[in-house]
Amino acid sequence: MTTTQPSNPFMHVARGARASQIKRTIQALVVVLCAATVTASAAGSGADWPAFGGDPGGSQHSPLTQINKSNVKQLKLAWQHRSGDFIDAPSPKGSLLQVTPLHANDTLYFCTPLNRVFALDPTSGKERWVFDPHRPDAKSGRPALSPPLVMASRCRGVAYWQEGSAAGSSASVTAPAAANGTGTPGGPCRKRIFKNGESSRVYALDADTGELCADFGAAKGHPGWVSHADYENHGEGLMASSTSPPVILGDLVIAAMSVNDGIANAKDGIVRAFDVRSGALRWEFNPIPPEYRNRSGAANVWSTISVDPARNLVFLPTTSPSTDYYGGGRLFDIPLANAIVALDGATGRVVWSKQVVRHDLFDYDLVGHPVLVDIRRGGKTVPAALLQTKMGWLFGFERSTGEPLWPIVERPVPKSDVPGETAAATQPVPEGMAPFARQELRREDLFGLTPIDRYACQKKFDELRYDGMYTPPSIRGSILFPSALGGGNWGGAAYDPASNLLLVKAENLATVIKVVAKKDAREDQAPPKDYLTRALVGTPYRMEGELFQSPLGIPCTPTPWGTLTALDLGTGKVRWQIPLGQIRRAGVTLPQRAGLGSPNVGGPITTAGGVTFIAATMDAHLRALDTLTGKELWAADLPVPGMAVPMTYQAGGKQYVLIAAGGNAQVGTPIADYILAYALPDRPEAR
Question: Which are the catalytic amino acids?
Answer: 363
At residue 446's C-alpha, the angle toward residues 443 and 452, to 5°, is 105
Residue 447, Cβ neighbours under 10 Å: how many? 17
Map residue 665 onto helix, strand or coil.
Answer: helix
- The 8-class DSSP code of residue 73 comes to G
Length of the chain: 687
Which secondary-structure segment (H or E) carries 37?
A: helix 16-43
Rounded-to-integer distance, Cα 409 and Cα 428, Å: 6
Would you say 244 and 156 are in contact if contact means Cβ atoms under 8 Å apart? yes
Nearest to 433 by CA among 372, 388, 379: 388
Would you say 50 and 104 are in contact if contact means Cβ atoms under 8 Å apart? yes
Q: Please list the residues that pair with 119 across neighbouring strands.
A: 109, 129
Torsion sign over Cα 134, 138, 139, 140: positive
Rounded-to-integer distance, Cα 476 and Cα 224, Å: 52
Q: What is the dihedral of CA 170, 174, 179, 185, to 10 degrees?
A: 90
C-alpha pair distances (Å), 96 with each of 88, 452, 508: 10, 35, 21
Q: In this structure, are strands 61-62 and 604-607 parallel, antiparallel, or unpaired?
A: parallel
Sort 590 into a burial class: Cβ within 10 Å, 0-12 / 13-18 / 19+.
buried
Would you say 23 and 569 are in contact if contact means Cβ atoms under 8 Å apart? no
Rounded-to-integer distance, Cα 191 and Cα 337, Å: 35
Rounded-to-integer distance, Cα 171 and Cα 382, Å: 27
Would you say 634 and 75 are in contact if contact means Cβ atoms under 8 Å apart? yes
Rounded-to-integer distance, Cα 584 and Cα 350, Å: 46
CB crowding 399-434: b at 16 or more within 10 Å, else e:
beeeebbeebeeeebbebebeebebbeebbbbeebb
- The 8-class DSSP code of residue 310 comes to T
Ramachandran class of 442: left when φ > 0, alpha when ψ lies in -120 to 50, beta otherwise: beta
Alpha-carbon 599 to chain mean position: 17
Which residue type does 631 have? Answer: K
